[in-house]
Amino acid sequence: MNSEGRHSFPLIGEKFPETHVQSTHGMINLPLDTEGKWLVLFSHPADFTPVCTTEIVAFAKRYDEFKKLHTVLIGLSIDQIYSHLKWIEWIKQNIGITVPFPIIADDIGNEAMKLGMIHPGKGSSTVRAVFIVDPHGIIRLISYYPQEIGRQVDEVIRSLKALQVADAEKVSLPENWPNNELIGNKVILPPPKDVQTAESRLKNNEGYDWWFTYKSRN
């Protein structure tokens, strides 16, 4: 709670807050348990609801892709552990999809409040939040969707891949990378920091101007 009485929550570039929580796979310590790997933590408003079920199924079907990206996938909602267990059992029996990742049971809502996931005016339900945390425990991306609109899980994967490429190659990524309308799957070079680099930038790279140059990936 800040000085104005409003709940504050972590921002991009800050350390993910330490937490010890119950999940469908046992107790989890974050970010300690995911140190050295990327983390995608996502919240859903409630178990046994249609939109949330479509999202959980989409995340589950792409679980192997997250694993290939050295990423731990974890869900969260303000439900009891028994509700989570029954819900994933229902999904397996009725949809034929096994949920292979843990879902945090934040039944009191402490973790959701800490992460700014509570939707004002919607009771104790969470918004549809996504936190992408890097291997050092630093928050790199935060997205929020309202309860009425389901997320696109492929966009979460795209963002995760883009962050990993940006870190590895020290570049930026354009809109809708790797399918950008202007430069396709190429990556954007960091801006020059001196006159000499600016003057030589277009001589050695593709681009529209010295401040907008790009290259194929390494």
Q: Judge whether residue 87 has pLDDT over 90.
A: yes
Which residue among 101, 116, 151 closes a domain?
A: 151
From 42-51, 105-114, 179-188, the region with the lowest mean pLDDT? 105-114
The predicted model scores a pTM of: 0.92
* Arithmetic mean of pLDDT, 117-139: 87
CA 99 – CA 80 distance, rounded (Å): 17
Same domain (yes/no): 124, 178: no
- What is the per-residue pLDDT for 4? 44
Average pLDDT, the chain: 93
Overall number of domains in the chain: 2
The range of the structural domain enclosing residue 45 comes to 19-151
Residue 145 covered by a domain? yes
Q: With contact defined as beta carbons under 8 Å apart, do 201 and 207 qualify?
A: yes
pLDDT band at 122 (very low <50, low <70, confident <90, very high): low
- Residue 52 a catalytic site member: yes
Is 120 or 204 the better-scoring residue by pLDDT? Answer: 204
What is the bridge-based pairing of β-strands 139-145 and 128-133? Answer: antiparallel
For residue 80, give both structure tokens: 């009891």
Residue 160 domain flag: no
pLDDT at 6: 46
Which residue in the list 41, 52, 133, 162 is annotated as catalytic?
A: 52
Q: Is residue 119 pLDDT above 80, yes or no? A: no
